[in-house]
Amino acid sequence: MGTVFSAYDIRGRADDTLTVEYAWTVGKAFAEWLPDEGSVVIVTSQSVNSGIVHGLTEGILLQGRDVVSCGTGDTQAVVNAISEHGAVGGALVGHDDVQNLETIALFDAHGTAVSAETGLADINQLVDSGNFLPAAEKGTLVTK
């Protein structure tokens, strides 16, 4: 199975179809896709691949956005963190134990999951193009 932009998330096998470099590109594309300036929160599940989290985080930072790392949690933790930190978006990086896949779910400023209909297809196109202008200044990572 390859890396797939599904209707609701991005999924693939760590270090195979979903590499650190691919997660980095997803982070850059997500940061570029977000319509407003501001920070992005990241929440992880308990058994997530740390390389995927690092790649996603670095991609967002390189596009000049600050990242607030909010520890472990679930979808509700992402929604709460977006509201609490006034973020313009968020990501939940997890692991699907049944299929043994890493997952990345993206959220907008309202805490709504970004689906294929609301922007995930656009983010996929940005990833495929790989055409990113670097930010003048790298964002800052804050751990909460």
- Give residue-wise pLDDT tens across range 34-73: 988 999 999 999 889 999 999 999 999 999 999 999 999 9
Whether 2 is covered by a domain: the verdict is no
Query: Do the beta carbons of residue 71 and residue 144 sit within 8 Å?
Result: yes
Place of tokens 């907008």: 108
> Strand 89-96 and strand 40-44: pairing?
parallel
Whether 84 is covered by a domain: the verdict is yes
| Structural domains of the chain, count | 1
Amino acid at 14: A
Domain of residue 35 covers 9-128
The pLDDT of residue 36: 84
pLDDT-based confidence at residue 134 (cuts at 50, 70, 90)? confident
CATH code assigned at 17: 3.40.120.10
The pLDDT of residue 1: 37
Q: 3-state class of 27 per DSSP?
A: helix
What span, in angstroms and rounded, lies between the C-alpha atoms of 14 and 119? 24
The pLDDT of residue 3: 64
Amino acid at 48: V
Whether 112 is covered by a domain: the verdict is yes
Query: Do the beta carbons of residue 62 and residue 133 sit within 8 Å?
Result: no
Whether 52 is covered by a domain: the verdict is yes
Whether 75 is covered by a domain: the verdict is yes
Whether 141 is covered by a domain: the verdict is no
